[in-house]
Amino acid sequence: MDSTFVVNSYNDGDNIYIGVKDFTRLLNGKLLYDVDRDEYIVKKENLHMKILPESPYYLLNGKIEKIRGDFLRDIDGCLIPVTPNLNRISSIMSKRLVYNKSRNSIDVYNNLYDIMDFDVRKNNDRTVVMFTLSRPVKYKYKKSKNSIKIYFYTKLLNKRPFNKTFRKSLITKVSIYNWKYGKYVVLNVKKGVFIDDVNYSKEAGSLQFVLGGSSSKKYGPMGKGKFTIIIDPGHGGKDSGAIGPNGIMEKTITLRIAKKLQKYLSKDKNFKIYLTRHDDRFVSLKERTKFALKKKANLFVSIHCNASVNRKSKYARGFETYFLSLARTGWERAVAARENASILYESEKEKNNYNTVDYILSDMAQNQSLIESSKLAEAIQNKMAKETNLKDRGVHQAGFYVLRFNYMPAVLVETAFISNSKEEKLLNESWFEDKIAKAIGEGIIDFVKNYEFKIYGRK
Ligand SMILES: [Zn+2]
């Protein structure tokens, strides 16, 4: 997952500097100043760095080293010359520093690599090759008879995951080489292998190649297998969700839309549909996820109404769709906090089950379902824009507990703002709920036809 900090920088015409305070903050370390010796000391676990201002010298774990340029003094302490020392400082911090020319700032990435991970998976008669990226990376590829060459416009590739062996897949060998603009990966493939699909998702941070072999079926429209969909009406019972200015409750609206969506999707006999609740009752977030896993669901959609608690933003309006990951912006965090607040209604024993969430979230970043979830979110968002006249607020990512699955695409739809009296009124109209249900339903069908079946192919 990409996480960027933009730090203030100072440009003296030759070098770009950052303050020692920013440096310490990014390291998550401690800063001390030794007045007698006039030294800055940055400490973190097994890192001990002593900086001598107005000199190029520093001591790293007791060993003296020299930096290009000088440590300058300023009001706030001292400045570190970053641009001529990007690689050295990146390796000291175990983070990657990138100079951003247009903003004259230093961006700090939590990961040392652009291409963090590589994996090959078998799915029925398809082989899925997956690159996990820490930030958007330009690439191109070439297919020849016995190989696929993927050229990345970056050198920062983590070699380790490429050393695995990929038995039983369509790939016979993987190797990495340098080229003018970075690294390229050669996949040697079995005879008759073709590229069925290439998916690049900036949001999910992944690049995926779906390969078919000589004996692979080409998938057309849906087959005969059942595709299990879980519709999750948000909130219920003692947890009423958000309440609009005229007293309409989120839990009522979400249940009505869920039932309409069920009806809409039931027209397609390929779908097996379950609701996590059928009436006004409390269902814990964990029970909802457990239910989906028990049903071996292929897809999960949670339905909600948005709310803005801030008095100033009572006019906030529109629809947005979320998929699971760490929330990136303040707004995404706020929405996640509100929806996750359902946990407050759960018993103490149940609450204790949530401490593994962080782990699951970090694991998700590497996961196939993330890219699928982002595609599903996009498909629903597109249909919502077509079906309704509401404001399109886009696809977002946030850490929703209810979406924490490993192997199915899962999204959360914030249909409209119940906190906005105009949209609250709409949400209470049957014709409007029909439109929303239809939009979500069409989005799901779109996703299943265009994406899901290509990769998994139903039998
Ligand atoms: Zn909600």
Please count the structural domains in the chain.
Answer: 3
Instruction: Write down the pLDDT at residue 362.
Output: 39
Same domain? 200 vs 240: no
Instruction: Write down the pLDDT at residue 202.
Output: 74
Is the pLDDT reported for residue 256 higher than 60?
Answer: yes
Ligand 1 centroid distance, CA of 379 (Å): 21
**pTM for this predicted structure:** 0.56
Report, as an integer, the average pLDDT of 154-170.
Answer: 84
Tell me the CATH number at 386.
Answer: 3.40.630.40
Same domain? 314 vs 412: yes
What pLDDT, in 10s, does the model give residues 205-235? 788 888 888 776 544 333 445 789 999 999 9
Chain centroid to CA 291: how far? Answer: 24
| Range of the structural domain that residue 42 is part of | 4-109
Ligand 1 centroid distance, CA of 295 (Å): 23
Ligand 1 centroid distance, CA of 71 (Å): 51
217 lies in some domain: no
What pLDDT, in 10s, does the model give residues 334-378? 777 777 777 777 766 655 554 444 434 434 443 556 778 888 999
Residue type, 79: L
What pLDDT, in 10s, does the model give residues 233-243? 999 999 999 99
* Beta carbons within 8 Å of 3's beta carbon, 6+ residues apart: 109, 110, 326
Distance of alpha carbon 366 from alpha carbon 131, whole angstroms: 9
Ligand 1 centroid distance, CA of 147 (Å): 48
Ligand 1 centroid distance, CA of 364 (Å): 22
Same domain? 432 vs 449: yes
- Which of 90, 109, 128 finishes a domain? 109
Question: Who wins on pLDDT, 280 or 1?
Answer: 280
Same domain? 193 vs 320: no
Is residue 426 within a helix (H) or strand (E), and if so which, with residue range?
helix 421-427
Instruction: Write down the pLDDT at residue 273.
Output: 96
Q: Judge contact between 384 and 441, C-beta under 8 A.
A: no
190 lies in some domain: yes
Question: Who wins on pLDDT, 441 or 287?
Answer: 441
Same domain? 134 vs 160: yes
- Which of 82, 109, 136 finishes a domain? 109
218 lies in some domain: no
Ligand 1 centroid distance, CA of 407 (Å): 23
For the chain, the C-alpha Rg in angstroms (whole number) is: 26
Ligand 1 centroid distance, CA of 386 (Å): 23
222 lies in some domain: no
- Which of 109, 133, 160 finishes a domain? 109
434 lies in some domain: yes
Ligand 1 centroid distance, CA of 277 (Å): 14
Q: Judge contact between 274 and 293, C-beta under 8 A.
A: no
What pLDDT, in 10s, does the model give residues 36-74? 888 999 998 888 999 998 888 899 988 888 888 889 988
Same domain? 401 vs 276: yes
Q: pLDDT grade, residue 393 (50/70/90)?
A: very high
Same domain? 145 vs 48: no
Ligand 1 centroid distance, CA of 276 (Å): 14
Ligand 1 centroid distance, CA of 343 (Å): 12
What pLDDT, in 10s, does the model give residues 166-199? 777 889 999 999 999 999 999 999 988 988 888 8
Question: Who wins on pLDDT, 117 or 384?
Answer: 384
Same domain? 207 vs 234: no
Instruction: Write down the pLDDT at residue 225.
Output: 58
What pLDDT, in 10s, does the model give residues 120-145? 887 767 788 989 887 789 999 999 98
Ligand 1 centroid distance, CA of 302 (Å): 9
219 lies in some domain: no
